[in-house]
């Protein structure tokens, strides 16, 4: 699911062990629909990654996963193609960094204040 993310199985297991993963589960098909990985910090929560399987996209699953996070300031970094999605959910771009990702892509640092 996190195909665009260099997350190793070991790192993913660590997030799961710490309970830092939220899931949406399809109980009818007995399969995962989407997941959000986060890192709780003192002042904010960093959304590390979010992904929804293609067949479940555009059904509000990401929105529900983000709403399920504790009500704190949310921060994240992402590539250009997800900026409109996060802007739609109330995030703003704080700054950008060129050549941030391995393939030279720019990173967008975004945040949303506590609601
Ligand atoms: C981006 C992604 C996580 C969105 O998940 P999703 O479950 O389809 O999103 P939702 O259905 O919850 O959409 C929430 C809102 O954002 C809007 N939205 C969804 N994708 C959008 C996009 N690409 N651009 C702008 N708005 C978007 C929806 O219309 C919806 O708006 P509404 O609440 O007014 O109806 C999903 O497409 C995905 O997994 N993509 C591949 C992985 C990825 O890019 N992850 C993010 C980088 S870590």
Ligand 1 atom nearest to CA at 63: 12
CA 85 to ligand 1 center in whole angstroms: 5
Residue nearest to atom 10 of ligand 1 (CA): 60
Predicted pLDDT at 7 = 78
Q: Please list every protein residue whose CB sits less than 6 Å from any atom of ligand 1.
A: 4, 34, 49-52, 57-63, 78, 82, 84-85, 88-89
105 CA distance to ligand 1 middle (Å): 20
Q: What is the pTM of this model?
A: 0.93
> Under a CB-based contact definition with an 8 Å cutoff, are residues 49 and 18 in contact?
no
Per-residue model confidence as pLDDT tens for the chain (115 residues): 666 666 788 888 898 888 999 999 999 999 999 999 999 999 999 999 999 999 999 999 999 999 999 999 999 999 999 999 999 999 999 999 999 998 999 999 999 999 9
Nearest CA to ligand 1 atom 21: 85
For the chain, what are the domain ranges? 9-112
**pLDDT at residue 12 in the model:** 86
CATH number of the 9-112 domain: 3.40.630.30
**Inter-residue long-range contacts of 59-68, CB under 8 Å, 24+ positions, other chains counted:** 61/24, 61/33, 61/34, 62/34, 62/36, 62/89, 63/89, 64/24, 65/22, 65/24, 65/34, 65/35, 65/36, 66/36, 68/22, 68/36
| 41 CA → ligand 1 middle, Å | 24
pLDDT at 15: 87
For position 11, what pLDDT does the model report? 86
Say how far apart CA 115 and CA 101 lie, in whole Å.
Answer: 30
pLDDT of residue 5: 66
């Amino acid at each position: 699911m996190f195909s665009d993310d260099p997350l190793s199985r070991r790192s993913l297991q660590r997030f799961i062990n710490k309970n830092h993963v939220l899931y949406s589960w399809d109980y009818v098909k007995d399969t995962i629909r989407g997941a959000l990985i986060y890192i709780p910090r003192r002042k904010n929560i960093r959304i590390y990654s979010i992904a929804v399987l293609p067949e479940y996209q555009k059904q509000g699953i990401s929105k529900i996963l983000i709403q399920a996070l504790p009500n704190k300031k949310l921060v994240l970094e992402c590539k250009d193609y997800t900026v409109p999605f996060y802007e739609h959910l109330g995030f703003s771009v704080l700054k950008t960094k060129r050549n941030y990702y391995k393939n030279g892509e720019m990173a967008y640092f975004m945040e949303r204040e506590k609601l």
